[in-house]
Chain A
């Protein structure tokens, strides 16, 4: 009984820890490596240490890259997209991966990232008669928005980031994306 007590109480924590590490580890060992452009800055997480908050070129999707059936051009609140799994298919341009198109169906034989709709991007600079026409695209997020770094190394990264010199190395496996390096 004494053994059982210890073993049973350890099952759930071990399952949770392995469960959390499983997909990222699979991605780390079996995923395709891609490089994307970044635009970051750096806050701190009290439990997980220093990190840089990452933004990428591929976070912004233009209207032309979204199928008409997915976007409501008359509305800022994209109910059709929120809480939906979206896939962003990427294409390679001079070693850097960029957005090809967005879809809601899992692509086959292509490099794609699973994404979530964040908000609609509008361009208020251009004065148009119909305000709704200001919608120019959407912003999505990936499993890539934080990059944890060694303590007190944030300022160096931040400086490079401000100069727009950072690139991110990412591994992709079945749509799951794992940040490997920022350089």
Chain B
């Protein structure tokens, strides 16, 4: 069996616990050794951190140098300089790969940063028009092969971050990139290839959710329906039978469900979408009740996130109702008391059953 990798602290804790169990005669000394033998310490690699930070600083320096605009070199020379230095750093990385793998990696990172800087620089040299969110799309997509071939999680996460920047900045622009739909399965595939890390799954899902929002937003789908779509997606993520990192799907699902549910507790969103409803108060109240009941049901199963959303919902109603006509002192005392009650409820729940996401 492959050894499980855990941090030194956690291994110490495990050792202490096993020692205690050994003393209590719950396990034999051999069993303790066998169990400990299944673990290996993950060492934080100092050299690697220094080299990665160094690479990022050099990359940022290059971006900043580029942003300061050099007028004395011809346009075509500038383009060749960018592509040349991109290739140059990759060659350096290649040459050092066997002897100094960590330094080689940082040259690879510099290459990826120069590539990104190059996109912006070409935009600058040729005075590219308009909003330049597309640069982040190019950057994010361009480094995907690097993440895949070099099995590099950092580059992989960065490609997600760039895609997210692109998606967040692309509402109501005059073009729509259907291309992003093709990328998403590739991202999930690569995460699988890289060993299905939790953080990878988290970012995969985040890009998928942002893409849905991007398309709904660009097709001018009504706010109400967008929220309902996310409510359903949240439930699917929460209950869906996924084999990979189910806990991440559950947490994200509940957050998506929680936020969209919270939006639907507002009467205005119902009134805006259904003109025949004179006042959205009744329907939003019915929804809020069902929403909070469902969250209570989830809380009962030991789910802390749902409790947080209940808390937000109640405080929201409390603010809406009382803020205007209550004396300030009373208002703060009552809000404080509500929070204290919730805090107490959290604590009781923790003692009682210990849920999955309980803080330590």
Q: Do A and B interact with each other, yes or no?
A: yes
Query: Is B129's CB under 8 angstroms from A141's CB?
Result: yes
The interface stretch among B27-35, B130-138, B294-302, B309-317 is B130-138
Distance between Cα atoms of A20 and B122 in the complex (Å)? 7
B interface footprint on A7-24 (CB within 8 Å = 1, 0 otherwise): 011111110111011001
Chain B's closest residue to A148 (CB) is B124
Report the minimal beta-carbon distance from B96 to chain A, rounded to whole angstroms.
12
Contact partner of B69 (CB less than 8 A), chosen from A18, A149, A178, is: A149
Query: Is B127's CB under 8 angstroms from A12's CB?
Result: no
Majority secondary structure of chain B interface residues (helix, strand, loop or mixed): helix
Report the minimal beta-carbon distance from B104 to chain A, rounded to whole angstroms.
10
B120 contact set on A, CB distance < 8 A = 47-48
Residues 131 to 166 of chain A near chain B (Cβ within 8 Å): 141-151
Query: Is B127's CB under 8 angstroms from A148's CB?
Result: yes
Query: Is A17's CB under 8 angstroms from B126's CB?
Result: no
Query: Is A21's CB under 8 angstroms from B122's CB?
Result: yes
Query: Is B67's CB under 8 angstroms from A48's CB?
Result: yes
Distance between Cα atoms of A46 and B67 in the complex (Å)? 8
Interface residues on A, range: 35 or more
User: Number of B residues whose C-beta is below 8 Å from A?
Assistant: 46
A46 contact set on B, CB distance < 8 A = 67
B132 contact set on A, CB distance < 8 A = 45, 47-48
B148 contact set on A, CB distance < 8 A = 9
Chain A's closest residue to B123 (CB) is A48
Cβ of A127 < 8 Å from any Cβ of B?
no
Query: Is A8's CB under 8 angstroms from B127's CB?
Result: no
Query: Is A9's CB under 8 angstroms from B146's CB?
Result: yes
Query: Is B126's CB under 8 angstroms from A2's CB?
Result: no
A6 contact set on B, CB distance < 8 A = 90, 93-94
Cβ of A25 < 8 Å from any Cβ of B?
yes
Known contacts A2-B97, A45-B132, A48-B132, A147 near B127 by CB under 8 Å: yes
A51 contact set on B, CB distance < 8 A = 124, 127
Query: Is B145's CB under 8 angstroms from A8's CB?
Result: yes
Cβ of A49 < 8 Å from any Cβ of B?
yes
A82 contact set on B, CB distance < 8 A = 174
Residues 76 to 131 of chain B near chain A (Cβ within 8 Å): 76, 79, 82-83, 86-87, 90, 93-94, 97, 111, 115, 118-130
- Interface residues, chain B, with chain A CB atoms under 8 Å away: 63, 66-71, 75-76, 79, 82-83, 86-87, 90, 93-94, 97, 111, 115, 118-130, 132, 135, 138, 141-146, 148-150, 174
Give 18 A-B contacts (CB < 8 Å), ordered by A residue: A3-B94, A6-B90, A6-B93, A10-B86, A17-B79, A17-B118, A17-B119, A20-B122, A21-B122, A25-B79, A47-B120, A50-B69, A146-B127, A146-B129, A146-B130, A147-B127, A148-B69, A178-B127
Taking A16-B119, A47-B67 as known contacts, 12 extra A-B pairs with beta carbons closer than 8 A to each other, sorted by chain A number, are: A2-B97, A13-B143, A14-B83, A16-B142, A17-B82, A21-B122, A21-B125, A25-B75, A25-B126, A45-B67, A48-B121, A51-B124
